[in-house]
Structure formats: C-alpha cells, structure tokens
Amino acid sequence: MLSLPEAKLKVKLIRYTPEPELTAATAAHLCYAGVDIDKLQKKITREYAEKLLKHVIESGHWSVLEHVSFTFAIEGISRACSHQLVRHRIASYSQQSQRYVNEENFNYILPKSIADNKKFAERFRNFMDSARDFYAEMIANGIPKEDARFVLPNATETRIIVTMNTRSLYNFFEKRLCMRAQWEIRALANKMLKLCRKVAPLLFKNAGPICERLGYCPEAKSCGRYPTKEEVLSK
C-alpha cells in the first residue's frame, strides 16, 4: 500500500485592488472634504493617506476599507479547515469540487498532535490509504465521483480561491488569529496577513487578534495574553 503525500500549506496573493491604501484613503477623504471628483485625489499624498487611514481605522469608520479587496489562492488545507473558512460570509469562494475532480490520489493534512504520536501517526496514514483504495475501487466499478466522495475524510486536501475586502479581512484576522482558534486556520490567517502587510502595510498595521485592539479578551476564558473583560472590570 503506497502512502499518500502529506499536503503543505501554500498561500499566494494573486490579485488586489491597485494602490489599495490610496484607494481607501480617497474614499475616506471624500467623506470629509467638500471637493469635486476632479480635485479629490490631488490632496492624497502618502503622508496624508497614513494620517487619514489611522484616523478612520481607530475610529471604527471601516466602510471605506470595503473598497479594497484581496484575492488569495490557497492549497494544502484540509476540508475541515475550509469548512471554517467559508463561514466568513462577506467573501467570495471558488473551491475545488470533489464532485468533478477525481480524488484517487488525494493529499491529506496530518495534524502535528497525531504526527508526534508514533502509534497514531501510523494508524492515521493507514486509514488514509484505505480511504484512497476504497474510493478508487468504487470509481473503477462505476460509482459516480459525486457518490464515491462520501468516503473521503475531513483531512483531504482542498484548494480554494478566496476574495475578501479589507473590512472582512479585519474581521477574519480578529477571529482566526486568536490563540483559541483552531491551529490550521490560524496558520492560514497568519500567512494571509503577512501577504497583506507586504502590499498594504498602512491598511493592515493594526490587523490581528481582537484582544490586541480591545486590550482584553472577549472570550469567556483567555489564553493568558490578555485578561478577560470581566477581569478588567473587576479591578
């Protein structure tokens, strides 16, 4: 029985709004300036954009961030991870279909907690091999891919294109960079944020887990980095 390859997380930023920070700053400038469209962009220098974006982000006036979007190509994540990802509703998703794509040689994600356990790592790999073999057997015997896929595990690798605007990304990073988030989607969020900061450092300077913005943990139980809201109020 040939062991299947273990997939590795890979994220590429394939498209984004041109001049993202100037675009958001221009939208913000329109809200505060009594000028026509022809004059609107003339005042938007890099220095002014930084000052304006700092103001609107800290003030919570995030509607202007919706004018800037980012498109990511993602592979090396499990179906378990993608099910969490698509819960972020203000976004666009195009995911590799298990109905049309043959999965006889699917890759899979091996969690570190299992990989570090010699006994369970071997059983896990054997289970994945068995699922692959059973899937292939059904396909060979005329079972449609859309039905054979029912035996594919949550660990099966998937590929997905994701587009989010900046405001949605802030929400995504607040939720998924939290230390209490599941490890796989947290790793994905980390890579996405690094890519965003490379092309739009002003926009994403303050992006991160929500505790960093609030100064306390809104969860019932903190990971320890920040006190909970109840602990802050009780002081």
Residue positions annotated with a catalytic role: 176
Residue identified by tokens 């607040």 is 174
Q: Which residues contact 172 (CB under 8 A, 6 or more apart)?
A: 88, 91, 164, 189, 192
Q: State how far the Cα of 223 lies from the Cα of 2, in Å rounded to an integer.
A: 41
Q: Are 216 and 227 in contact (CB under 8 A)?
A: yes
Q: State how far the Cα of 149 lies from the Cα of 155, in Å rounded to an integer.
A: 13
- Amino acid residing at 89: R
Per-residue tokens: 11: 């994220």
Per-residue tokens: 216: 């306390």
Q: Are 207 and 169 in contact (CB under 8 A)?
A: yes
